[in-house]
Amino acid sequence: MQEYEDPCQIHVQISSADRPGILAEALKSVVSFDWDVLDIKQFVFNGLLNLSLLLGSKKPNSILKLQAALDKWSIENGISLQVLPWEKGLRPEARYKYRSVVTLLGPNLSSEVFLHLTQIFSSRDINILRIEQLDYSDHHVIEVVIGSKEDHSTVDILNALVKFKEKFTVDIAVQEDTMFRRNKRLIVFDADMTFLQCEIIDELGKIAGVGSRMREITHRAMSGELDFKLALCERVKLLKGLSVSQLEELYERIPITHGAEDLVRILQYLGYRIGIVSGGFQFFIDRIKNNYKLDYGISNQLEIIDDKLTGRVVGDVVDARAKEQALISIAKQEGFSLKQVVAVGDGANDIHMLARAGLGIAFNAKSIVQRHANAGINQSNLELILYFLGINGKEVQELREVSKSNPKSDW
């Protein structure tokens, strides 16, 4: 589109029942009077066309003739048309330097939900630039692009939405509206209570007959009340004497989180690299990695002598900082920016990993974790992550089908 140093600019707003040819008809007059299209936006909502043209010309004396031609055409065709003056300083990209995308996901996003959300934005001088519905089936998903003159970080916006999330059953993601939002390339999962629907160490505790003591330590560690490394070593001591066959038996009955298989299959089809970085045990992570053809699996190594656990961990403990460094290392190895990384976890030892990723998702997480992530899902369905990646419901359905032909999906 042609640029002018100081063109006369007008905004032409057209609305009508949609049909083929409306834009072509309008452009006949634009071309006839030697005006140029500087910007154009069009969308169809429920059969109603909304079309905006920003026109520029160095021949402002032709503006009345152009308007007369457009008015005649619109009256003859039953089209609503407005021609308005336009100043450069009023263009949205100049007024709203800082842009974010807020995704809302819930069973039903009522009008009261929208009222409270828009009031929160308005009270902070944040303007809504675009709203798009991604799905309205089993899940109601809305994507809202917002802009502001001041630098409202994703953390500021999430903090403003704390009471909103408490009042309504809704999951929220807040991301910067940059080229990286829909260009994620790597996803890293925590294992226990994220990719898996159990705490493996607690299940091992039951087998060892120390279930209640194990659960107590795990709960305090995941809530950030205990140092993770010390808590892990204390719990592993309780497992001394368990056999490899008992570990194998437990692996066979570990429940995978709902939606995990479809999510992995779809992301593999889309070319994502996928890994698990866990504070759990390599014995189980290796099997999950191989079973689902994941690219990475990093966890703690249990010491095994004569097919029995010794009650010790071999090597460095994979704690919160180690998980963060693993995410950074994988991204660097793959040549991805951290802005292209998604991290998913639920415990206090996931906080640093979530904070480093371009999109950090607290999945059914403790409150301390939700405060440090820019997205949260409080439903037991990992496939919902796709909406936070900007994929709509129709695309999800199509990807479910086409991804089944992906060679990696033959599990």
Q: How far apart are CA 399 and CA 185, in angstroms?
A: 17
Tokens of 173: 């993601």
pTM score: 0.89
Residues with a catalytic annotation lie at 190, 192
Residue 312's closest CA among 404, 241, 249? Answer: 241
Q: How far apart are CA 264 and CA 269, in angstroms?
A: 8
Q: Which CATH architecture has domain 187-409?
A: 3-Layer(aba) Sandwich (3.40)
Q: How far apart are CA 374 and CA 293, in angstroms?
A: 28
- The CATH classification number of 96-170 equals 3.30.70.260
**Burial of residue 281 (number of CB atoms within 10 Å: 0-12, 13-18, 19+):** buried
pLDDT given for residue 93 in this prediction: 52
Residue 24's closest CA among 60, 57, 49, 4? Answer: 49
Distance of CA 95 to the CA centre of its chain: 26
DSSP secondary structure string, 121-159?
HHHTTPEEEEEEEEEESSSEEEEEEEEESS---HHHHHH
pLDDT given for residue 91 in this prediction: 53
pLDDT given for residue 5 in this prediction: 43
Tokens of 328: 């950074």
DSSP E strands, 306-406: 308-314, 341-345, 359-363, 375-377
Question: What are the average pLDDT values for consecutive 10-residue runs of the chain, which has 411 residues?
Answer: 59 97 96 94 94 90 93 97 76 71 94 95 92 94 92 81 89 94 96 97 97 94 90 96 98 97 98 97 98 98 97 96 98 98 96 96 92 93 98 97 82 69
**Burial of residue 255 (number of CB atoms within 10 Å: 0-12, 13-18, 19+):** exposed
Q: How far apart are CA 356 and CA 339, in angstroms?
A: 9
pLDDT given for residue 149 in this prediction: 84
Query: Quick one: residue 209, left, alpha or beta (phi over 0 = left, psi -120 to 50 = alpha)?
Result: left
Domains 8-92 and 187-409 share a fold: no
Tokens of 104: 């809302």
**Burial of residue 254 (number of CB atoms within 10 Å: 0-12, 13-18, 19+):** middle
pLDDT given for residue 41 in this prediction: 94
CATH 3.30.70.260 fits 8-92, yes or no: yes
Tokens of 126: 């944040």
pLDDT given for residue 224 in this prediction: 87
Residue 333 DSSP label: H
Phi, psi of 98 (to 5 degrees): -105, 120
AA identity, residue 157: I
Locate the domains of the chain by residue range: 8-92, 96-170, 187-409
Tokens of 288: 């999950």
